[in-house]
Amino acid sequence: MERDINSSRKQTSVHEHRTDAGRILGARKHDPGVRTRVLLILAMSLVTMGTIFVSLLAIRRPLQNLITQNLSADLAHSLATFQSVQAQRLAALDRENALLADLPSLKALMTTSDERTIVDGGEEFWKISGNELLALVDRDGNVKAAYATGSPVDADFRAELSRFLAVPKANYLVSARGLYGCSIQPLYFGSRSSGTLLGYVISGFAIDHNAVTNLSGATNVQAVFQSGERNIASSLGAKDEAGITAAKVGTVHGPTETFELKVGGERFLAMSQDLSSRATAPLRLIELKSLDQEERAIRQIDRLVLLAGLLALALGAALMSALSRFVTQPLEQLAAGVRAFASGDSVHILPYRGTREVRELSAALVRMRREINVTNQALLESERLATIGRMASSVSHDLRHYLAAIYANSEFLASDKLPLSDRNEVLAEIRAAVDGTTEMLESLLMFSRTGRGMPRTQQSMAALAERAINLIRAHPDAVGVKMTLRVGEAAETEAMVERKQVERAIYNLILNACQAPRREGVKATVLVAVTGRDTEVAVDVIDNGEGVPPNIQSTLFDPFVSEGKHKGSGLGLTLTQSIAADHGGGVALVDSHPGETVFRFSIARTSRSAESPVRSRSEVGER
């Protein structure tokens, strides 16, 4: 009993192990996973790309701030330069205008008070001064003569000159003609401290596109003089000036401000300085420097950083590939060793190089493989002994029965008092016992030889089934059993088989059907149906017995299972299953219930043909 319990536990453990192994192999088949080398290279690539991205962000923000600071400093320096240049020009203009105001001829001209005389005489002084603007004003502020390059001076320009004279400390004249930097010098008859005021001399230079362009060239920035929303002078083109106007820069207030604006699709950093306190109208100087040009420099730096990062990524990937190959190749060899061991190769060479962990794992696998081989050998030996024990236990009863019959009948046969008819009957019983013993021994021998290669020939399964029925008619258990053979065309049931094995397998199924228990009064019948299919030939053995007990259906094809039968070693179905498996087929319990039990024996065929209709054949016989 204890041995049976241990055997059951061992079979359950083996079954669970095979189930787990099948589940793992199935999962591996559907999901092979990712190679370690790919994971290492992918991880390195992600880290490198992340580092590049973070580096670009870390570099770009400070660079943008630095560029903005540098541009602001450049604009502030440009404004300071402009103020310095303008101060120098105005100082030079003041000196020139002072010399002009001290000329006695000019003073004499202004004493005439005749506008026509002053206009005619003042033109000579304008040409001598070389300035773009010259105006002579009497002491009441009336402009007597005004000269300017370009178109003739009109009344509006004279009025603007009068307003300029009224603005204290004014240096800029904002007019419809343009922007002028001007200097005012009084004319005195006599000394400046005690003489009589005759009028004023206004001299100026034009601040136009050429002047602003020269200033921009010196400071490397763009400059715009704007009055309200009107651009008076600029170093920009006409299209960009329109963009400045559309940007409503004139709404910017404050003495000095820094801001961004977009002109002609290009971004600029601008700095504005209010000059209204020294001008005859609102006046603002705006200096601009392109942000997009600096952004292009940043993008160039970004490209260099990205190129360096990609180069580092390529080199790192190559290095990681080589390093990962050093790490993963022993792992792959180790996996190959495990697969080889799983397929039965216990001498596959395992890796002895690689990292320390791989070497330790390889050594552990060698020890495990050795222990598993030893354990398997012990299990095989134990299974062999258990099989021998079950075999001896199974056949001992029948063998003792046959030997006892032979021994007892031999004693009767030795008696001189038995008549001849009794002697023949005793001899027949001895012969039956010897035949039973021989049949049992043949089953055991065939069970031990199943699976070995034997010569095979082309045979008709219908003919083999008919031979099996004829052989079993002589068996005592077939007495009174009605056996019927039903086959298709003989050519449709041919297959390449080992004749004696297949005949024995069909014989075992028919004998098993004849021995099936039946209700009292029910005549025993067995139907053998041979059917040819596309890829196999099937033999169905159908009896009208009580059916297979449910408690042994799962172990029906295990060796030495004979529950519910009074005779036999329990090897018939096991032997039949082994023979079918050797021929590429199998044995299955198709149906089992009181009144009908169907066993199907099938083997693979060598020729392919369409299934033919089944026809009835005459009964083979009844005994």
Distance CA 600, CA 14 (A): 28
Distance from chain centroid for Cα 254: 58
Q: What are phi and psi of 431, to 5 degrees?
A: -60, -40
The pLDDT value given to residue 474:
75
Tokens matching residue 183: 């200097």
Distance CA 498, CA 90 (A): 126
Are 56 and 302 in contact by the 8 Å Cβ rule? The answer is: yes
* Three-state DSSP class for residue 540: strand
The total of other beta-carbon atoms located within 10 Å of residue 476's CB is 10
Distance from chain centroid for Cα 614: 57
* Three-state DSSP class for residue 525: strand
Burial 214-232 (b: 16+ CB within 10 A, else e): ebbeebebbbbbbbeeebb
Distance from chain centroid for Cα 78: 56
* Three-state DSSP class for residue 569: coil
DSSP 487: E
The pLDDT value given to residue 599:
93
Q: What are phi and psi of 90, to 5 degrees?
A: -70, -35
Please name which of 216, 116, 202, 138 lies closest in space to residue 167, comparing C-alpha atoms: 202
Q: Which residue has the tokens 């009025």?
A: 159
Are 552 and 563 in contact by the 8 Å Cβ rule? The answer is: yes
Are 389 and 559 in contact by the 8 Å Cβ rule? The answer is: no
Please name which of 389, 316, 396 lies closest in space to residue 50, comparing C-alpha atoms: 316
Degrees, nearest 5: CA angle 426-429-432: 155
Distance from chain centroid for Cα 393: 62
| Terminal-to-terminal C-alpha distance of the chain | 43
Q: What are phi and psi of 206, to 5 degrees?
A: -80, 135
Distance CA 88, CA 215 (A): 13
* Three-state DSSP class for residue 570: coil
In the predicted model, residues of the chain with pLDDT beneath 70 are 1-35, 37, 243, 245-255, 352, 384-402, 404-405, 407-408, 412-413, 415, 432, 435-436, 439-454, 488-491, 559-571, 606-623
Tokens matching residue 192: 């400046």
Distance CA 437, CA 268 (A): 113
The pLDDT value given to residue 530:
92
Residues in CB range of 617: below 8 A, 6 or more apart? 485, 486, 487
Distance CA 58, CA 170 (A): 50
Are 143 and 217 in contact by the 8 Å Cβ rule? The answer is: no
Write the single-letter amino acid at 242: A
The pLDDT value given to residue 186:
92
Tokens matching residue 386: 């258990």
Dihedral angle at the C-alpha atoms of 51, 53, 58, 59, nearest 10 degrees?
A: 110
Q: How far is CA 592 from CA 374, 538, 548, in A?
A: 43, 18, 6
Are 366 and 373 in contact by the 8 Å Cβ rule? The answer is: no
Name the CATH architecture for the domain at 453-622: 2-Layer Sandwich (3.30)
For 109-139, the pLDDT digits (tens) are 888 888 889 888 888 999 888 899 999 999 8
Are 417 and 455 in contact by the 8 Å Cβ rule? The answer is: no
The pLDDT value given to residue 598:
94
Please name which of 154, 106, 108 lies closest in space to residue 126, comparing C-alpha atoms: 106
Are 222 and 216 in contact by the 8 Å Cβ rule? The answer is: yes
Burial 486-500 (b: 16+ CB within 10 A, else e): bbbeeebbbbebbbe
The total of other beta-carbon atoms located within 10 Å of residue 317's CB is 17
Burial 139-157 (b: 16+ CB within 10 A, else e): eeeebbbbbbeeeebeeeb
